[in-house]
Amino acid sequence: MVFHRPIPTKFKVKTGTVIKEADGWYISLTLEDKRVPVTVAEIQPTVENTIGIDLGVTNYVYLSSGKRVENPRFLRKSAQKLARLQAKLANRVKGSKPWKVIKDKISKLHQFVARARLDFQFKTAHELFGKCDVLVVEDLSVKNLTRRAKPKTGIENGNLVYLPNSQSAKSGLNKSILDAAHGQFASVLKYVAWKLGKTVLFVDPKGTSQHCWNCLKKVPKELSERWHCCQCGESLERDKNSAKLIKKIGLSYESGGGTPSLKKAFEKKEKEACGLTVLR
Mean local confidence (pLDDT), 230-237? 89
In contact, 230 and 219? CB cutoff 8 Å = yes
Segment 28-47 mean pLDDT: 87
Residue 152, pLDDT > 80, answer yes
Sequence letter at residue 60: Y
User: Taking Cα atoms as reference points, which of 249, 255, 258, 135 lies closest to residue 192?
Assistant: 135
pTM over 0.95: no
* CA end-to-end span of the chain: 53
pLDDT value, residue 16:
94
> pLDDT tens digit string along 100-122?
999 999 999 999 999 999 999 99
Q: Above 50 in pLDDT, residue 9?
A: yes
Q: Predicted confidence band at 264 (pLDDT cuts at 50, 70, 90)? A: confident
Amino acid 16 reads: G
Q: How far apart are CA 187 and CA 193, in angstroms?
A: 10
DSSP conformational letter for 231: T
pLDDT the model gives residue 280? 43
8 Å CB contact between 216 and 227: no
Q: Which pLDDT value is given to residue 106?
A: 96
The tens digit of pLDDT for each residue in 82-93 reads 999 999 999 999
H-helix segments, 17-133: 74-77, 79-90, 97-129
